[in-house]
Amino acid sequence: MGLQGVKAVFFDLDNTLVDTAAAGRRAIEEVVNALRSKHRCGEEEARVICDKVRAKLLKECHDPAKMCITDLRISHWEEAIQETMGGQANRSLAAECYFLWKTTRLQHLTLAEDTRGMLTELRKVVRLLLLTNGDKQTQREKIEACACQPYFDAIVVGGEQKEEKPAPSIFHYCCNLLGVQPAECIMVGDSLDTDIQGGLNAGLKATVWLNKKMTTPLDTSPVPHYVISSVLDLPALLQKMDHKINTNLETDHMVSSNEVH
């Protein structure tokens, strides 16, 4: 597979290459079971605690200069436990829940064998870069847990940069790392707000939205160039893109030849 005009593909990590959401659900179940068996919580109470933590994670604003991510996330559990069970804050229980959740989630973060194979083959024809938003410590732990380093020419973590996706600066930084131009790169990710909007902001050649449900709202914004339901569909899409480009080039050549005569 030779790719006309494409020199690099940028991949998002969470819920694109690895199923972070599924790993998170497994981790929550472990915490629910521990709260029930070790701390005599009712199941409903344990699930309320976990639901509160998930809500806090979704709204999380982290400034690493003020607090490390570990302390912040223990605080999420501490607040959720106190809000649900009342009484005094229980930092030790909160820490136990957090570390169980974190450890279990990392254990279930895997780069599937077929995904590894796809990346290996794709890297034979283009350069590959992993571009992930998030706290430096958290994302580096995930990257190590799923052992994805060998499949990429470079890895960029948003929390280590001045700006994260969708800022154009982080995409241009990635281009400079690989020695390519934005118009030679494709961004693949599951988030319209960060991956797709960022790729558009940075002027990349194309954006590919991973939409596993393939149920697109009528008012989807921003609008990706392409949509796939599985990251494994990417090679076939790239071949279609390449064929379209080659066909256009052949047409242009025929037109110019006719003009000469």
Evaluated on CA atoms 120, 128, 17, 182, the torsion sign reads: negative
If asked whether residues 13 and 96 sit together in one domain, one would say: no
Q: Over 70: is that where the pLDDT of 194 sits?
A: yes
Range 190-212 average pLDDT: 97
- At 161-178, the pLDDT tens digits run 999 999 999 999 999 999
- Look at residue 2 and tell me if it is in a domain: no
The pTM score is: 0.90
Residue 35 is assigned to a structural domain of this protein: yes
Beta strands across the sheet bearing 206-210: 154-157, 127-132, 8-11, 185-189, 206-210, 226-228
Work out the average pLDDT over 210-236.
88
| Nearest CA-CA partner of 228 in 196, 205, 204, 200 | 196
* 224 within a domain of the structure (yes/no): yes
Q: What is the pLDDT of residues 128-160, one digit of tens each?
A: 999 999 999 999 999 999 999 999 999 999 999
Mean pLDDT of the chain: 92
Report how many domains make up the chain: 2
- The CATH number given to whatever domain includes residue 87 is 1.20.120.710
134 and 56 in a common domain: no
Q: Tell me, yes or no, whether 1 lies in a domain.
A: no
- Mean pLDDT value of segment 103-120: 98
Pair (63, 119) in one structural domain: no
Same domain, 130 and 234: yes
Task: Tell me the average pLDDT across 184-190.
Answer: 98
Both 13 and 67 in one domain: the answer is no
Q: Residues 6 or more apart from 169 whose CB is under 8 A from it?
A: 161, 162, 163
Q: Do both 120 and 145 map to the same domain?
A: yes
The answer to whether residues 222 and 168 belong to one domain is yes
Q: Is the pLDDT of residue 259 over 70?
A: no
Compute how many other C-beta atoms are within 10 angstroms of the C-beta atom of residue 147. 12
Model confidence band, residue 247 (pLDDT cutoffs 50, 70, 90): low
- The reply to whether 131 falls in a domain is yes
Domain CATH code at residue 216:
3.40.50.1000
Please state, in angstroms and rounded to a whole number, the distance separating the CA atoms of residues 119 and 114. 9
Q: Are strands 185-189 and 154-157 parallel, antiparallel or unpaired?
A: unpaired
Of 107, 124, 157, the one marking the end of a domain is 107
3-state SS, residue 130: strand
* Pairing between β-strand 127-132 and β-strand 154-157 as defined by DSSP bridges: parallel
Task: Identify whether residues 158 and 87 lie together within a single domain.
Answer: no
pLDDT value for 31: 98
CB-CB contact of 226 with 243 (8 Å): no
- pLDDT of 87 > 70? The answer is yes
User: Which domain range does residue 139 map to?
Assistant: 8-19+110-260
Among 92, 107, 122, the domain boundary falls at: 107
